Amino acid sequence: MSNYARKLWAVSAIIALTGCSSASPEAQPPADAAQGSSAEVPAWCGGTPAVVGFADGAGSNSWKRLNRAEIEDEVSRCPSVEDFIYLNAQGDTQKAVSDINSLVAQGATGILVFPDAGEATLPAIRNAYRSGATVVPYRVSPGGTPGEEYTTFVASSFPTIGELWGEWLVDNLPEGGNVLFLGGPPANSQNLAVNEGLQKVLKDHPEIQVIGDQPFTVTNWNPAQTQQVTATMINKYPQIDAVVADFAATSIISAFEQAGRDIPLIATADVNGLSCKYQEKLEEGEPFDLLTVNSQTSMGRLAAQHAIAGATGGEAPAATEDIPHVFEDSVSGEPQQPVCEPELPEDAILSGELSKEQVAEVLR
């Protein structure tokens, strides 16, 4: 076994121990890690030695840092991986292309790609695939065709997020109301897909109206801009009963507080600072209703399984899509109430498969 493999197995042992203390049911050891050495190696880990690389288009924010840690944790489960190479393009499209080429030159036979630059990375991805490497882009589509220009694409089911939000709004706005949808950059594919799921539910409930710009109000996923845009919408609309957004929910709350307006229902993705804000307002006697879906930092694990399977001769998973689910619901309490971890930073995300201790280590 290589030094890298020994290191990964040591890390895996520590992870298994710390994971047992996590409050999240997702943080428990995987089902296939049963007693006995024959069950310790998952089916997607074959016996052929491999080098695995990860070309991250922009890996500096908290979501990306936790996503990388989830991937490294998953890689540690396969002793056939002799080296793991991580490259961060830091938002530079030219470097993102160069990083993919570099991984091929360094002998990576399994390559993960987070193609933040989208289709601009497709030629490099195609060349890597045609060189014989197993290439798996995920979450952001580079365009192209799986099986022809890369091995497979691991997607997030963004429409499911919209459906979960929509179903919660229907349940909790029985008399109807006005819903503000705050999204990222104009016409971004993620929010368009979320809107598809949202409208699938709301089309049968005309009493619930989506207000603001259509199909969503642009914030560019910037916290300061989110607060400013929310303040503008508060001035424009005397009644806002709910806000749905995939980012910067604490900025939304700040805008309502500064305007002296009650905080509406909020449906979004989980982040520790939001849950702590919920607890704070609850203790102040000014509660608001909150639904969060998991932020999907752990979806890189599925992509890693595909890349490792191809590189090591293992059995690739049948799934190629990560399905979001409800993480917190202040109304039903299912699967849990919002949980604040005051010892962790506000940008901590607890819906992944890392333990609280691991999250703290990544974000310190």
Q: What would the pLDDT profile of 24-56 be if each residue is shown by its tens digit?
A: 333 333 333 333 334 589 999 999 999 999 999
Q: Which of 94, 124, 129, 127 is nearest to 109 (CA)?
A: 129
- Chain position carrying tokens 């694409």: 153
CA-CA distance, 304 to 52, in Å (whole number)? 9
Helices then strands, counting H and E runs in the chain, come out as: 11, 13
Residues 129-152 pLDDT 10s: 999 999 999 999 999 999 999 999
Are the beta carbons of 344 and 363 closer than 8 angstroms?
yes
> Alpha helix locations (H) across the chain?
3-19, 62-75, 93-105, 122-130, 158-172, 189-202, 223-236, 249-259, 272-283, 300-312, 356-363
pLDDT of residue 205: 98
- The number of C-alpha atoms within 13 Å of 99 and in the hemisphere containing its C-beta is 28
Q: What's the pTM?
A: 0.87
- Chain position carrying tokens 């598809």: 196
Q: Mean pLDDT across the chain, nearest whole number?
A: 91
CA-CA distance, 76 to 84, in Å (whole number)? 9
What would the DSSP string read from start to end of 247-272?
Answer: S-HHHHHHHHHHHTPPP-EEEEE--H
pLDDT of residue 210: 98
pLDDT of residue 7: 44
pLDDT of 23 over the 90 cut: no
pLDDT of 248 over the 50 cut: yes
pLDDT of residue 27: 32
pLDDT of residue 15: 38
Q: How confident is the model at residue 174 (pLDDT cuts 50, 70, 90)?
A: very high
pLDDT of 267 over the 90 cut: yes
CA-CA distance, 115 to 121, in Å (whole number)? 6
pLDDT of residue 359: 98
Question: Average pLDDT in the 241-269 region?
Answer: 96
Question: Lowest-confidence range among 19-28, 77-86, 242-251?
Answer: 19-28
> Alpha helix locations (H) across 91-241?
93-105, 122-130, 158-172, 189-202, 223-236
pLDDT of 284 over the 70 cut: yes
Question: Average pLDDT in the 95-107 region?
Answer: 98
pLDDT of residue 20: 34
Residues of the chain with pLDDT > 70, as a percent, come to 89
- Chain position carrying tokens 């999204």: 183
pLDDT of 239 over the 50 cut: yes
- Chain position carrying tokens 């160069």: 98
pLDDT of residue 135: 98
pLDDT of residue 33: 34
pLDDT of residue 185: 93
Residues 177-221 pLDDT 10s: 999 999 999 999 999 999 999 999 999 999 999 999 999 999 999
pLDDT of residue 292: 98
pLDDT of residue 10: 43
Instruction: Check the CA dihedral 295-249-142-52 and report its sign.
Output: negative
> Which residues in 191-230 are b (16+ Cβ under 10 Å) and which e?
bebbbebbeebbeeeeebebbbeebbbbbebbeeebbebb
CA-CA distance, 139 to 12, in Å (whole number)? 25
Residues with Cβ < 8 Å from 294, sequence gap 6 or more? 26, 269, 270, 324, 325, 326, 327, 351, 352
Residues with Cβ < 8 Å from 238, sequence gap 6 or more? none
Which pair of tokens denotes residue 309?
Answer: 């399977």
pLDDT of 295 over the 60 cut: yes
Q: Which of 310, 295, 312 is nearest to 146 (CA)?
A: 310
- Chain position carrying tokens 């500064």: 258
Question: Lowest-confidence range among 13-17, 186-190, 291-295, 360-364?
Answer: 13-17
Question: Average pLDDT in the 92-97 region?
Answer: 98
Is it true that the peptide bond before 338 is cis, omega within 30 degrees of 0? no
pLDDT of residue 34: 32
Phi-psi region of 313 (alpha: psi -120 to 50; beta: other; left: phi over 0): left
Is it true that the peptide bond before 335 is cis, omega within 30 degrees of 0? yes
pLDDT of residue 36: 32
Neighbours of 57 (CB within 10 A): 28
